[in-house]
Amino acid sequence: MAFARDQVVEIVHRVWPYVFIGVGIGAAIHNWVPANIITALLGQDNWWSVPVATLIGIPTYADIFGTLPIAEALISKDVGLGTVLALMMAVTALSLPSIIMLKRVVKTPLLVLFLTIVAGGILGIGFLFNAITHLFI
């Protein structure tokens, strides 16, 4: 039983900085970034919102727990569900540290294929969910 508790403690130690950063960014979006700026860049009616969110996610390094507060803040600012999903997926699947680690174990052609397929899937899901957001929210 002590082994399981040690694992939980280890996970909490690894995750808490990302949650803290995510909550901080989410709070900043809530309190300091005007809704019209967010809507102009990532608004649901903008065709470019999903690609922009995907590109923003690539240099961002966080885990999924750190992106949840950011996602909640963006949705409260009327960013489309698909755009938020694209950002969350890009942060976890296309982050530069992930790409660097993958590069160590796979050859460049396979890495390019992986990135192309994942980016295409993220964009497709983002556009799809933006189109059907009204069914969920």
What is the DSSP secondary-structure string of 92-132?
Answer: HHS-HHHHHHHHHHS-HHHHHHHHHHHHHHHHHHHHHHHHS
Q: Where does residue 79 fall: left (phi above 0), alpha (psi -120 to 50 degrees), or beta otherwise?
A: beta
pLDDT digits (tens, 9 = 90+) for 1-15: 455 777 778 877 877
More confident residue, 112 or 17: 112
Number of Cβ within a 10 Å radius of residue 96: 11
Give the model's confidence band at 40: pLDDT under 50 very low, under 70 low, under 90 confident, else very high: confident
pTM for the predicted model, two decimal places? 0.75
Average pLDDT in the chain: 83
103 pLDDT tier (thresholds 50, 70, 90):
confident
In this predicted structure, the answer to whether residue 90 has a pLDDT above a threshold of 60 is: yes
* CA 25-126-131 angle, 5° bins: 120
**Which tops the pLDDT comparison, 88 or 8?**
88
Residue 128: pLDDT band (50, 70, 90) is: very high
Could you tell me how far CA 35 lies from the centroid of its own chain? 19
Q: How many CA atoms lie within 13 A of 45 on its CB side?
A: 3
Highest mean pLDDT among 24-33, 60-69, 87-96: 87-96
The two three-digit tokens of residue 56, written as one number = 């923003």
Main-chain phi, psi angles of 19, to 5 degrees: -65, -45
Query: What is the pLDDT at residue 28?
Result: 74
